[in-house]
Structure 1
Amino acid sequence: MSGETIATTQWRALDRDGEDKCRLARLDQGWMLVGHARFRDGNGWAALDYVIRVDADWCTTSADVTGEHGGDPVAVRLVRGRDGWTVNDAPRPDLRGAEDVDLAFTPATNLMPLNRVPEVGRLDTTAAWVRFPGPLVSPLTQSYTRERGGMVRYSAEETAFETQLAVDRHGFVTTYPGLWETSE
């Protein structure tokens, strides 16, 4: 990976066996997030690597996920262009307006919207939500509201999920209640 490393983090899963290691690098025109998630879920073991490219405004431009999940190979590429999103080169008009990719298996992808949340206030955004097995990709309407003490209220409309995230100075989640916490 090229670019200057800005931060690294590592999480341990709280709801299953698993861990995720991630690195954030600054590039000439934005950022790159590179991670390695290893976990066991209802479909077996997963070893997923991801690379996410982000523009200078912290909006996702592309994401690649490769590896294996439950014994099946995984290779998915999402790209946001002028005409909208593609998933493995197939146009996805249902994702029009999405600014980010949300990989359901890692807290790493909360980084992009968390870096756009105002110091005081709320950010409403939509992500291309990637879940496994599949991959299944659909829009996910999200809301982030900065609260006192470095906490951010997070909600996802389609799932009616809501929680409070602890976040570090780089925008990485440090505590995702019941799901993830940093292990460094």
Structure 2
Amino acid sequence: MTETIAQMHWRALDREGEDKCRLAHLDAGYMLVGHARFRESDGAWAALDYVVRTDAAWRTLSADVTGTVGGAELAVKIVRGETGWRLGDEIQPQLSGCEDVDFSFTPATNLMPLRRLPDVGRLTTRAAWLRLPSGDLRPLDQSYTRERGGIIAYTAEQTAFATQLVVNECGFITTYPNLWEADA
């Protein structure tokens, strides 16, 4: 049985687009279901649907992404099991140590590490980073530091990206500077 905990709707700031998602509580964890639509750099529209399933400690168990991006169909199934991460049927040894998924096209997947972030302090984690349009997975080392109120300092090591995120009481990002902003 699922119970909806929260819903979010973001609009893209760097291009035309939006993302809507719903967070639900499941018997043994949580499920994030979303729909991202955005204009790509070539002017075409991408349309992606995603589902992320986590355990009760907010660590990713599996994720699915389907839709169109880069003018092509995309269907990705990612599973974390006892033998490691799999993309479809293929084991992904480069993802050893990853606890989360990070989809490059939505702020929704930052929710899992943000829910594990202590009230005071810092969380470092490694995510299985789904890049588009290729659909390949790479490790992405991230750190989140709670600064004051709902402001979180975020860094991604492999890309040297750093910003300050604003989050709400559920842990969803409400402001991702220059990329996403939650609708009121």
Q: TM-score, normalised by structure 2?
A: 0.98
Give the Cα separation in 2 of the matches to 1:164 and 1:132: 23
- Alpha-carbon distance in structure 2 between the residues aligned to 1:84 and 1:164: 31
C-alpha displacement at 1:137, in angstroms?
Answer: 1.1
Task: Supply the AA of the counterpart residue of 1:102.
Answer: D
What is residue 34 of structure 2 aligned with on the other side? 35
- Aligned identity (percent) is 64
Cα distance in 2, alignment partners of residues 113 and 66 from structure 1? 23
1:141-156 → structure 2 map (5 Å cutoff): 141-156=141-156
TM-score (norm 1): 0.98
Q: How does 1:34-183 map to 2 (within 5 A)?
A: 34-43=33-42, 44-183=44-183
Q: Deviations over 1:22-61 (max 9, x none)?
A: 0000000000000000001124210000000010000000
C-alpha distance in structure 2 between counterparts of 1:181 and 1:131, whole Å: 21
* Partner Cα separation in structure 2 for residue 98 and residue 29 of structure 1: 20
Residue identity opposite 1:26 in structure 2: H
Deviation of 1:152 (Å)? 0.5
**In structure 1, C-alpha distance between the alignment counterparts of 2:66 and 2:137, rounded to whole Å:** 15
Shift of 1:149: 1.8
Partner Cα separation in structure 2 for residue 131 and residue 114 of structure 1 = 21
Task: Please state whether the residue corresponding to 2:159 is helix, strand or coil.
Answer: coil
Tell me the distance in 2 between the aligned counterparts of 1:176 and 1:106. 10
* AA at the equivalent of 2:49: D
Q: Give the SS at the match of 1:113.
A: helix
Letter in 1 for 2:181: E
What are structure 2's unaligned runs of at least 5 residues?
A: none
What's the counterpart of residue 3 of structure 1?
2
Deviation at 1:70, TM superposition (A): 2.7
Which amino acid counterpart does residue 9 of structure 1 have in structure 2?
A: M
Q: Give 1:159's aligned amino acid.
A: T
CA distance in 1 between partners of 2:119 and 2:38 (Å)? 34
Give the Å deviation of 1:129: 0.3
AA aligned to 2:123 is L
Q: Structure 1: which 5+ residue stretches go unaligned? A: none
SS state of the match for residue 158, structure 1? helix
Secondary structure of the residue aligned to 1:135 is coil
Letter paired with 1:7: A
Query: How many corresponding residue pairs?
Result: 183
Q: Residue type matched to 1:16 in 2?
A: R
SS of residue paired to 1:64:
strand
